[in-house]
Amino acid sequence: MELVTLKRFEKGFVTAGWFGIFGGLCLLLLLNITLLTNIDMMNNNLYLLMYLTAPFSVIAIFSKKSRSLGLWGLSILIFIMIFIATIFILGWIVIPFP
């Protein structure tokens, strides 16, 4: 009886995992466009997509079929957060007062 209910929600977990990966790749695309063209695209779009990607990736971790998708989405998100923090800290070291 319990296996039937778990299989019913399996498609939602897989969809959440793919949305986590797609959101992470869109974040990488926005970050690269921002760095290459010097156009400020990191305002609300980037952070809103981060706040949407993280919960979907965490939700995908709870299912066995979509666990790898969730881990990929979270790893992309963690990479972007570490990259932004590192660039901010290095920029603050070079020019401490704007």
pLDDT tens digits, one per residue of 37-57: 888 766 767 788 888 899 999
Q: How confident is the model at residue 30 (pLDDT cuts 50, 70, 90)?
A: confident
**pTM surpassing 0.85?**
no
Residue 2 located in a structural domain: no
Residue 3 located in a structural domain: no
Q: Evaluate if residue 1 carries a pLDDT over 70.
A: no
Helix 2-37 crosses helix 67-94 at what angle (to 10 degrees)? 30
Average pLDDT, the chain: 85
Residue 45 located in a structural domain: yes
The whole domain housing 20 covers 9-92
Residue 21 located in a structural domain: yes
Count other Cβ atoms within 10 Å, centred on residue 67: 14
Number of structural domains (the chain) is 1
